[in-house]
A and B are shown apart, each in its own frame.
Chain A
Amino acid sequence: MAPTDSENSPIVVIGFGPVAARLVDSLLPAVRSGALSLTVIGDEPHPAYNRVLVADLGVGRTTAADIALADRDELEAAGVVLRLGVCVRRVDRARQLVHLSDGSAVQYGRLVFATGARPVVPNLARLNPDPQLPIRLPAGVITLRNLDDAATLHRAVQGRRRVVILGGGILGLEAALAAADEGARVTVVHHGPHTLGRSIDANAGKVLAAALRARGIRVAANSRSTGVLLGQHDGGAPASGAGPDGAAVPNSGTGLDGGTGLDGGAGSGSGTGPDSAILPDGGTGPDGGTGVPASFSALELDDGTTIDGDLLVLSCGVRARTEVAAGAGLATGRGILVDHGLQAHHDPQVFAMGDCAEVRCLDEQCADCRGSTGPSGLIGPGWRQAEWLARVLLAGVLPPGAQPSGAQPSGAQPAGPPAALAPEQPPVIVLKARGVDVAAAGNVAAEPFDEPAEGADPGHTAGTLQAAPPLNVSTWADPEHGQYLKMATRAGVLEGFVSVGMPRAGAELVLLFERGSELPADRSELLRLDAAGMPAAAGGAPDGTVCRCAGVDRQTIAAAVVGGCGTVAEVSAATRAGTGCGGCHGEVRALIEQHFQPAPA
C-alpha cells in the first residue's frame, strides 16, 4: 500500500548501529531538503560505529575515530534529531509514541526497529548467580561488542595478559587470532571437536587447528565450561571497564530496558544488545555491595579442570533484542517478525531490519519463509535491508533537487517504491584474520564417496517425480601446507564449500556460491588460482612473437642476424623489434648471441 498521510510524518529509528547508520545515510538528502523528519534513538552515547571492527579496536589495530560511521554534527546540521545515551522504555502504538528513559516521548509517523542483538551470556556458576535478575558481568569478563569492551580487551593485550575466549565460532576465533597476533596469550575454549563447528567440516577443522597452534593459540576442544572463578587480582587487572560502569551504561530503570541499542554488528556477532541489558542500572540490580569487586581468574570445565586467565571474553552467539517490540504487542520469534517488505505484522507504520528482525511473512505456504532460521547475524543482509527500506520510506517523498550527491538534478523524479527485496542467500562466512584464510558456506558435511541419501534429497521439490541431480563432492587436502578445499555441487552449482589456506580459490568460491553460478567442469581450475607461478598471459601475441609492440617474430629477427645485424640497435633498425616498450631487448640479445656462439665441436 502506498504511504499517504504518513508521507511527511516523522520517521523514528530505534537503535543506532551500522544498519541504522546506513538507513540514516540514505535518508539524509531528504532530511536535508526538509522532505522528511528523522529522529534516531541510540542507547550508546556515541553515534554509530562499525561494530565489525570492535575486535580490531580491542587489539589496538585501529582507533575509535576511524571506525565511526556517522558524525553527530553533520547529521544534526542536516536536521536529524539525535537522542543518544537514552533507552526506549516502551512504544505506544495506539498513540504512535516512543517513551524514553529520560521521561520524554517522541511522536512517530513511521517507526523503524534497528535494535540489533545482544550477546548470549552462558549459564555459568558465579557469572549470574540469580537467574531472576538481569546479568551483571563480574570484572574481567566481557562480551566483545562495544567501545568499552574494546578498551578492556586492549588493556589485556597491551599487558600481554592471558585471554580466554569462550566460544569457537567465527567471532571468537577472530578475536583470538587478533589478540594473539598483537601479543596476548590466548586460549580458545569450545564445544565439539573443532572450531567453526557449524560452518566447516572435520578435515577443515584439523587444518585450521594447526594454523591456530602455529600462532601460539591454545585450543581446548570438546570443552564444556561450568563456571568462572573469581579472585582478587594482584593489581593491574585488565578488567575495570567491565564493571557496572555507570558512565557508560545508560540508566534503564526497568527490566524492559532499551531495546534501543545498536542494531547488531552482525558480522561480528559481538554486535549485540547494549550492556544495559546485561548490566542493568543500579536501581534494580543487586549491587554486589562487596567493596572491591572480585575479578575473573579462571574458567571451570566439567571435567574438573580449570583454565586460568586474566580476561574472559564471552563469544557464545547473539540474540535479537525484541523486548521493546514485544512489549508493544508486536509479534516476535527469533526476532521481530516482519514480512518481505520489512513491515511488522499487522502494523503498516512499523518496520524492523538488521539483527533484530526475522523475515517471516503471514503466508504459511510461503516457500521463502519455510526455512527461516531467524536473523542471519551478518552485516551484509542488514545493509541491504537498510538501503531497500530507505527507498520504501522515500517513495513519493523525495522532491527533485534532493538527490544523493552525485546524481544529476535534471530529470530526477520522485522515486517510486522499489522492487521487492530479494530473499537473502544462505550465509557465507569469511574469517576476518591476518594470514589465516578461511571461507565457507552451505552444506559441507557430505563426503566424496557418500551414497546418495534415499528419498531425502533436498533438491527434490514436492509434486515432481523427477529426481534431483546428485550431490557431488570434490576435495583437495594438503595439511602440511595448511591447505584444504571442499566443494559440494549439484548440477555444477555449489551447495556448500569450505576453503582453508587458499585465498584465491576461497575468494572465487564465495562469488560462485553467492551467484549460484556453475563451476568449471574441471574443478582443478580453482585450485590453480592459488598456484605459485601463474602462466604467462594468453591471448596476446601469436606464438613466436618476440617484440609485441612492433609485431616481430623470432624468425624475422634470426634472419636479420644472419643478414649481418650484430647488435640490438642494428636488429631494431632492421626489423623494428625492440622499438616500442623495449621489453624484448634481452631476448633479441640472446638470439644474437646464440647465432654467434661457436658451433659445438
Chain B
Amino acid sequence: MSDAAITTETATGHSRRTFIKGVIATGAVVSSSSHLFRARSLSASAAVRASMPRMISLNVNGVSRSVDVMPQETLAMTLRYKLGLTGTKLGCDRAECGACTVLIDGVSHYACSLLTNAVRDRSVTSIEGLEGADGTLHPVQQAVIDEGGFQCAFCAPGFIMSMVALTNENPEPTREEAAEALSGNLCRCGDYNKILNSAMRAAEYARRMV
C-alpha cells in the first residue's frame, strides 16, 4: 500500500529525496518478504524429505523435553529458538569463538557445530542448568561474580561452561592449565586476565564444596 503511494508520489514529480526514500522503503519490503519466503520453503522441503522423526526427545539440564527439529538443525539453534534457552550464545557460528559452549555428558562442545539429532540420547547441560533447584549459584558462577570476571559478558556463558568442564576434570589447575582449558573461547573485550582469575577462584570454590 505504502509502496504504491510512494511510487505515485515519485511519478508525479516530487523531490529527489522522496524518490530515494521510496526506493529504500521498497527495497526493505522486498528483502524482508524474501526472507520470510525463504524460511518457509526451507522448512517445507525438510518436512518432505526428513528420514528422521521430526519430534525428538532431548535431555536438557536434566529434563527430558520433546522438540520438533529439522535434520540440519544445530544444537545452538534448538536451544535458543526452540527451547528458549538463550543463555547459549551464537557468536561466530563456525566453531571458533566458543560463545555457544555447552556440556554433552559433562564434556564441553560447540553447540553451533553439532546437529541436534546427534545428541538425542545424551545429556545436554547449558548455562541455565548450572544453578541449583533452590537458586544457589554454581561455584563457577559465584566465582565469576566475585571476581567481576567479564566486561560486556557476551562470551561469559561459553567461558563459564568451559570453566565448569575444567573444574570437573582438573580440581587443582595451574593458571597455565586453566588458560589451556579456556583456549577454545574468545573474549573480544580482551578480559583474559580477569577471566583467568575467575577460573582460579572457581576451582577454589569447587574444591571447598567437595
The answer to whether A and B interact is: no
Interface residues of B (CB under 8 A from A): none
